Structure 1
């Protein structure tokens, strides 16, 4: 099979090999990248390296992804909220709680299972993830675009690698942000002691930039639009938490339960996940090159949260 070829840019120089591969637009998690490296399926200039190898600008990295056994990713008839579909791509409004990829301990109920059922085959025989070019965290909802052909897969993956995709998220954060707009420019890397978390205080953090615009202020919370200019793991969640405004419901980064305004008679109903939604995504269509703007409405839990915040803030 033909390996995926990645070239290390100046901004990624100094990163660990596993982190670079995971951020390379191939839809791989950090643990999946590490597994491929350990198996010898990732090579730098043709040589096998360890996961902790530090990449340098200009390095050529070849990643060979072997499809999993068929029993590990079976088609499932799962509901999908389809926003757009043509012969080359499909866009969905991913539900909160849906995992994108099958993994040990969760081989069913994922987006990949649903896509295998919908199409009956994978867009590329060399790719175990049918058309997946980017990811959303399990508890983040919103727009995802998926390729339906090998050509579309490569075209869309290139756009994500080159950062020409425009992404807009909606988030409800704890506390009132006074400034109407702000730019958070803080490198992100693996947390030094909690390996499942990311942090702006990591020694080997990678460049990360997020633009924030306030949309609505409440008594003890703020609705913001977040536009990530880079694609680091947990980027929006980490950046907002670092500014003292963690996303409501995000127990990992300090959001916890929804806030209650001082003196309010009733608290805000809890939300069972981080209040983060990928509201829009703009890509160049693989066939025409025309800009395609895809938008996804909020799911019921975030709508209910906003209604409650408006009620308790009035």
Structure 2
């Protein structure tokens, strides 16, 4: 009754069976912000279908198919990608609802779903399908509409990404870097359309050039020429990346024995209310008794819940 926010990822039918649906909880506490993330949404024939992010977000929302090369197997999603995006989406919705409550005095229900988040994440492709009927087809290095924003391999085998999203703007920078000013007037490559039409040939020529130097040298050349780029890094590269470290991507998490282990930090910082880990990850049920005592339960009642297996 004193809570500001109720958060759940349990299916609606299960919550309703326990009396934890939005209508009943907000009848008890009209200021409550009721936040729920589901697999497939609040309505429709599959509203109560069980889901993980690899199903609702990755598979059904179209992301896996959009990344599958012709004749290839769908790529496997890395762990919890959809869960992370859905969680951040719900957190943003909760913050907005709390701000609205400051004006209205009333809470409300905030919902999102793994399916909706997946459709939104793939919105660039999905919008093209909605408006133009164009399906999302996977792009390859030799079929991309703009080979100035694509991946290439340096002479030491390391991959990198050119970031020439604005093709005509970045094209002269790339030509300075690869010492091919003649391509400015070459009819095969002079315009974005001609580069798209001759993408395989341009990629072949750039591959030959990039194979002549290691990535460290190319990086310095790109920077001098004003050509935007980024390395393709493994997680092993990332945890050693001085920029990722300086940006606060990692944090030391205290352990019960007084030592610390490295962990991935929250991606959000605050200029005034600085945050840091307050302790180790709790064990399952570690704070259950403490919370129940705060809610007014007596030890005898807590013992009864344990005997019935309701709490660990």
Give the TM interval when normalised to the shorter protein. under 0.3
TM-score where L is the length of structure 1: 0.23
Larger Rg: 2
> Going by fraction, where is strand more abundant, 1 or 2?
1
Task: Compute the TM-score of the two structures, normalised by the length of structure 2.
Answer: 0.23
